[in-house]
Amino acid sequence: MKSTVLVAGGAGFLGSHLCDRLLADGNDVICVDNLFTGREDNIRHLYSNSHFKFILHDVTEPLIIPCDKIYSMACPASPIQYQKDPIFTARTCFLGTLNLLELARQNKARILLTSTSEVYGNPLMSPQPETYLGNVNPNGVRACYDEGKRIAETLFSDYHRQYGVSIKIVRIFNTYGPRMSETDGRVISNFVYQALRGKNITIYGDGCQTRSFCYVDDMIEGFVRMMESSVDFIGPVNLGNPYEITIKEIAELIKHLTKTDSKIVYCTAPIDDPQCRNPDISLAYYSIGWEPMVSLKEGLIRTIQYIRNSNL
């Protein structure tokens, strides 16, 4: 059924791919973004589509837009970006979420929050199920995002309980693919850009910390399935690839796939950098029939090709 869907943060890496998918599914899409980390280049190809509209707006300010569904994705998502202005990040997580929930309430719209695996902090158990309450430092340099997303989940849950707003919550684990910015500090984008330019591939820490990487198309499929799932199923639900790999192994794989002569070098690990990230996706599999389909190698080949074809 055709809907008018608002994507807050729609000019970002994930948001722009979601706009593509929603339009392909026959929806009218309203992209709202302040371009703090989003880029018009990510959505420029959609400007000629009569079913797409871009609104330059900061969600920390209220908005009144008729819509049927809302994806709440507006927040800097990489450590470099969200630590650049931590108070702005916290304001976006709280005020931005509050404003979008009010919009959902006014429109009687369903709203989905893209939360994060960062709500688990530096986990003391692995893999992490949705029932794990986390190990988060509320005073650390990452807290603006970690705690910001936790309060966003709280607001969603309270709007559902107090006002009956139809909500969905997903927790995103590391995602990669085309349109990643080279300046966002994410592991795969850093390594690929460094490798293709023949620069040193920089690992922060000893490289033994683990991550689980999910290709963007799989992640977007998870968003859509969750949004369209039964009204009684609200989450939170982990979305990510349960295949766990060390940072050193991913660096070596990217070096092999790019055929680079770059050297792998080691630097000091960031403060509060989690030692493991691995989702338990049992709930997603059994509740919405979701699991990642793109292998890490295939996803990396697509990502490397995209970056190689872009203006390095």
120, 145, 159, 193: which one is catalytic? 145
- 145 included as an active-site residue: yes
Which tokens hold the place of 210? 């683990």
Strands 167-172 and 237-239: parallel
The whole-angstrom separation of Cα 302 and Cα 297 is 9
The whole-angstrom separation of Cα 93 and Cα 169 is 14
Q: What is the identity of the amino acid at 202?
A: T
Among 176, 154, 172, 187, residue whose Cα is nearest residue 117: 172
Q: Residue 220 in 3-state DSSP?
A: helix
Is the omega angle on the peptide bond into residue 127 within 30 degrees of 0, that is, cis? yes
- For residue 306, how many other CB atoms are within 10 A of its CB? 14
Active-site annotation, residues: 145
